[in-house]
């Protein structure tokens, strides 16, 4: 007997005289409660928010089918969630075989999503795509109301069990489906919803479903957002380019369907050197790429070369522009919707349906060539930009070879100022990047030489947002980081060669320190993205104050904590309150015990949940446009001390 059926037997299910099919349902939902991680990935805050997306996806499917144009998500004051749409309402009739309504099937049967109705594309059933029954199983209560044919139907569940029959409770002239649920605090480690997290994902869904209006209301503090984009992913491109300078105004946009594969592509170029391409399949952000992305890339490179040759912007016997050349400064969003998406890869975010590649390739080639012909001034700008990229790439290649040759000559020698650790196993080694020589000196004296290495950086760190690779590689600070890390950059990046499993940025707790930290992080984000994605980068937290009272010392890490400490120990008889302006003001013992001792220190891990959000922040902080930066700093300066980017 399986573990699950044993548990089911032990409970009082049989005492209630359930029939065969109901026992199967309960076993299924019991399994969800026993191993929630298998169904929603995690029971942390991420999983908590995932419940909302599971429900919303069902309403989005109704919108894709053409029967709904508005969805309202509300965070109630008790952190329960309601989702309402204005679609046809889940069918309320009795399912002939199962003997229960479609509503009850949806909420009590695993993987019931999309089993009836048929036809069209569905975004539910995607990445986790586990359906409404999983949300039901993991909710202390769930109430569904269907507004249909003049009546309001209602049914209640608790932890996956049916509590009431589906019954008519009212009259109505509305149409739609309403769901109210409370995530079970026996399951979730965190039960407080974040408005910003929900807003981020709902905005993405709204971009990907043009015309659909999504309202997000927060009744805890009377906040709201309306996410509604008639232009769909075209407006997504505008949004990504917000803090950047586009090199032409018009956005290329195409939507077409071939062989039942619906393809939407929007793109524009900006004057930066980085590429932002976001690919989606059935509204899932396919960060590992796949066939839709390959089709797009192949079409873009081919079309630009063909156009350039045809209109004599490229010489007949010149080398072709490469994919990298034509994607410098590109912002593109690709969204495909297909009946039966297949995902593979480490995070199951790589689309593998082979038929998609040529469909995307054909659609993009045809329409983009036409777009260039119709807009010759844009065509010329794109070719010129690509040619510049090609020349710069040659220069960068030479610079990189020089760096490689130098390192070979140095025989793999580390930068002179690096005080390396004795440990050779990267898993046990950590690197502190410290700004300034005096702080570097203190850190070298404070460290545990066995496992802690120190790399002091002095002088200007280049703003990589404003330079191409050849110039970046000419910067000594950046070169010393690349050499010390050992893992290379960009296409040469190799995590296996990384020499430290923790890289800790330690700068002064002042404005200059924050600026230097942002410069270092920008470099890491643009050239060593996997380091950030895999959580190898940390920020050290030196204390802001030292309070001394009756021979005791208190180290304090924020203004709020200072208030609390002073209230705790009493303000009378306090000798000095020392404000640390720089790391250099601490002696090595103090630096060790407050900031570097693994047993006591506080490290902030740099995370990157959302690549678009991160890109916007870095473009804004480090780019040319002053306005958005000023607004951002005004908005956040009051509340945030360390940006958790
Ligand atoms: F799944 C769910 F219960 F969580 C949920 C479903 C939650 C929300 C907020 C909305 C929905 C939902 C389902 N909205 N609209 C629908 N539509 C159907 O289920 C439906 C209606 C009619 C037909 C038909 O063929 O006549 C087919 C379907 C799938």
The residue with tokens 């404070």 is 446
Q: Is the CB of 103 under 6 A from ligand 1?
A: no
Q: Can you give the pLDDT at residue 127?
A: 59
State mean pLDDT over 359-379.
98
Question: Could you tell me the distance, in angstroms and rounded to a whole number, from the CA of residue 90 to the centre of ligand 1?
Answer: 4
pLDDT band at 316 (very low <50, low <70, confident <90, very high): confident
The minimum-distance atom of ligand 1 relative to the CA of 179 is 9
Handedness of CA 77, 81, 83, 84 (dihedral sign): negative
Q: Which residue is catalytic, options 435, 465, 470, 615?
A: 435
The residue with tokens 């590689």 is 473
Q: Can you give the pLDDT at residue 633?
A: 61
CA 124 from centroid of its chain's CA atoms: 19
Q: Is the CB of 62 under 6 A from ligand 1?
A: yes
| pLDDT of 34 over the 70 cut | yes
pLDDT band at 636 (very low <50, low <70, confident <90, very high): low
Q: Is 510 a catalytic residue?
A: yes
CA 304 from centroid of its chain's CA atoms: 31
Q: Can you give the pLDDT at residue 405?
A: 65
More confident residue, 11 or 286: 286
More confident residue, 562 or 631: 562
Q: Is the CB of 431 under 6 A from ligand 1?
A: no
Q: Can you give the pLDDT at residue 404?
A: 65
Report for 86-100, 180-194, 425-439: range of highest mean pLDDT: 180-194
Strand-pairing partners, residue 332, are: 267, 277
**Helix locations, 312-375, DSSP H:** 323-326, 355-374
* Burial category of 380 from C-beta neighbours within 10 Å (exposed 0-12, middle 13-18, buried 19 and up): middle
pLDDT band at 126 (very low <50, low <70, confident <90, very high): low
Q: Which residue is catalytic, options 512, 553, 563, 644?
A: 512
| pLDDT > 70 in the chain, percent | 91
State mean pLDDT over 531-539.
92
| pLDDT of 98 over the 80 cut | no
Q: Distance (Å, rounded) from C-alpha 642 to C-alpha 221?
A: 24
* Burial category of 448 from C-beta neighbours within 10 Å (exposed 0-12, middle 13-18, buried 19 and up): middle
Q: Which residue is catalytic, options 204, 328, 465, 508?
A: 508
Q: Can you give the pLDDT at residue 5?
A: 35
| pLDDT of 418 over the 70 cut | yes
Q: What is the pLDDT of residues 4-24, one digit of tens each?
A: 333 333 333 344 556 677 777
SS3 (DSSP) at 15: helix
Mean pLDDT (the chain, rounded): 88
| pLDDT of 356 over the 90 cut | yes
Q: Distance (Å, rounded) from C-alpha 467 to C-alpha 457?
A: 20
Token duo for residue 249 = 């105004």
Query: In degrees rounded to 5, what are phi and psi of residue 567?
Result: -65, -40
Q: Can you give the pLDDT at residue 306?
A: 97
Q: Distance (Å, rounded) from C-alpha 386 to C-alpha 329?
A: 9
Q: What is the pLDDT of residues 22-33, one digit of tens each?
A: 777 767 799 999
Q: Distance (Å, rounded) from C-alpha 383 to C-alpha 300?
A: 12
| pLDDT of 204 over the 80 cut | yes
Q: Can you give the pLDDT at residue 621?
A: 79
The residue with tokens 């460290």 is 447
Q: Can you give the pLDDT at residue 558?
A: 84
pLDDT band at 297 (very low <50, low <70, confident <90, very high): very high
Q: Distance (Å, rounded) from C-alpha 591 to C-alpha 588?
A: 5
State mean pLDDT over 599-627.
81
Say how many residues make up the chain.
Answer: 645
Query: In degrees rounded to 5, what are phi and psi of residue 146?
Result: -115, 125
Question: Could you tell me the distance, in angstroms and rounded to a whole number, from the CA of residue 62 to the centre of ligand 1?
Answer: 6
Q: What is the pLDDT of residues 142-183, one digit of tens each?
A: 999 999 999 999 999 999 999 999 999 999 999 999 999 999
Q: Distance (Å, rounded) from C-alpha 107 to C-alpha 133?
A: 4
Nearest residue (by CA) to ligand 1, atom 25, is 117
pLDDT band at 483 (very low <50, low <70, confident <90, very high): very high
Q: Is the CB of 85 under 6 A from ligand 1?
A: yes
SS3 (DSSP) at 584: helix
pLDDT band at 470 (very low <50, low <70, confident <90, very high): confident
Q: Is 12 a catalytic residue?
A: no
Is residue 298 a contact partner of residue 361, using CB atoms and an 8 Å limit?
yes
State mean pLDDT over 63-78.
97
| pLDDT of 320 over the 50 cut | yes
| pLDDT > 90 in the chain, percent | 66
Handedness of CA 582, 586, 587, 591 (dihedral sign): negative
Nearest residue (by CA) to ligand 1, atom 8, is 59
Q: Can you give the pLDDT at residue 490?
A: 86
More confident residue, 609 or 418: 418
Q: Is the CB of 59 under 6 A from ligand 1?
A: yes
| pLDDT of 643 over the 80 cut | no
| pLDDT of 124 over the 90 cut | no
């Amino acid at each position: 007997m399986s573990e699950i059926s044993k548990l089911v037997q032990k409970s009082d299910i049989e005492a209630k005289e359930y029939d065969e099919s109901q026992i199967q349902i309960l076993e299924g939902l019991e399994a969800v409660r026993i191993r929630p991680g298998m169904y929603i990935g995690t029971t942390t805050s991420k999983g908590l928010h995932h419940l909302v997306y599971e429900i919303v996806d069902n309403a989005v499917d109704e919108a894709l089918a053409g029967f709904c144009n508005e969805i309202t998500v509300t965070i109630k004051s008790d952190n329960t969630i309601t989702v309402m749409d204005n679609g046809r309402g889940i069918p309320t009739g009795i399912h002939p075989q199962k003997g229960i309504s479609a509503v009850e099937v949806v909420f009590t049967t695993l993987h019931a999503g999309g089993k009836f109705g048929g036809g069209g594309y569905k975004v539910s059933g995607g990445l986790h795509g586990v359906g409404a029954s999983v949300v039901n199983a993991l909710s202390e209560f769930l109430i569904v109301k269907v507004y249909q044919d003049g009546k309001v139907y209602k049914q209640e569940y608790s932890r996956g069990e049916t509590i009431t029959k589906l019954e008519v409770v009212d009259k109505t002239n509305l149409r739609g489906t309403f769901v109210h649920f409370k995530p079970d605090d026996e399951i979730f480690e965190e039960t407080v919803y974040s408005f910003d997290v929900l807003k981020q994902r709902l905005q993405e869904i709204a971009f990907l479903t043009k015309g659909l209006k999504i309202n997000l209301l927060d009744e805890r503090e009377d906040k709201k957002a309306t996410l509604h984009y008639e232009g769909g992913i075209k407006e997504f491109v505008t949004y990504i380019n917000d803090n950047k300078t586009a090199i032409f105004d018009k956005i290329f946009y195409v939507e077409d369907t071939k062989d039942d594969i619906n393809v939407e592509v929007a793109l524009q170029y900006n004057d930066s050197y980085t590429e932002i391409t976001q690919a989606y399949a059935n509204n899932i952000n396919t960060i590992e790429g796949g066939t839709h992305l390959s089709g797009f890339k192949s079409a873009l490179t081919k079309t630009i070369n063909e156009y350039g040759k045809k209109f004599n912007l490229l010489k007949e016997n010149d080398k072709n522009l490469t994919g990298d050349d034509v994607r410098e400064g590109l912002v593109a969003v690709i969204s495909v919707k297909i009946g039966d998406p297949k995902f593979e890869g480490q995070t199951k975010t790589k689309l593998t349906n082979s038929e998609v590649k040529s469909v995307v390739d054909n659609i993009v080639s045809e329409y983009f060539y036409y777009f260039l012909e119709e807009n010759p001034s844009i065509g010329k700008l794109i070719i010129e930009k690509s040619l510049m990229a090609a020349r710069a790439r040659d220069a960068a290649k030479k610079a990189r070879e020089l760096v490689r040759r130098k390192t070979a000559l140095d025989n793999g020698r580390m930068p002179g100022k690096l005080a390396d650790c004795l440990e050779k196993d990267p898993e046990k080694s950590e690197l502190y990047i410290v700004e300034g020589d005096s702080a570097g000196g203190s850190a070298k004296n404070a460290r545990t030489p066995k496992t802690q290495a120190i790399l002091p950086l002095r002088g200007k760190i280049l703003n990589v947002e404003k330079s191409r690779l050849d110039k970046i590689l000419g910067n000594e600070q950046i070169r010393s980081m690349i050499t010390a890390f050992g893992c290379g950059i960009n296409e040469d990046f190799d995590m296996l060669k990384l020499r430290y499993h923790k890289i800790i940025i330690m700068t002064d707790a002042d404005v200059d320190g924050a600026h230097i930290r942002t410069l270092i992080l920008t470099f890491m984000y643009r050239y060593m993205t996997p380091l950030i994605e895999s959580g190898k980068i940390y920020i050290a937290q030196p204390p802001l104050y030292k309070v001394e009272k009756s021979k005791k010392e208190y180290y304090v890490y924020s203004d709020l904590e200072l208030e609390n400490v002073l209230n705790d120990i009493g303000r009378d008889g306090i000798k000095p309150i020392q404000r640390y302006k720089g790391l250099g003001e601490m002696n090595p013992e103090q630096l060790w015990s407050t900031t570097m001792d693994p047993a006591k220190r506080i490290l902030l891990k740099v995370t990157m949940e959302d690549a678009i959000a991160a890109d916007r922040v870095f473009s804004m902080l480090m780019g040319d446009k002053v306005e958005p930066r000023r607004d951002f700093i005004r908005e956040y300066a009051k509340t945030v001390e360390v940006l958790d980017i």
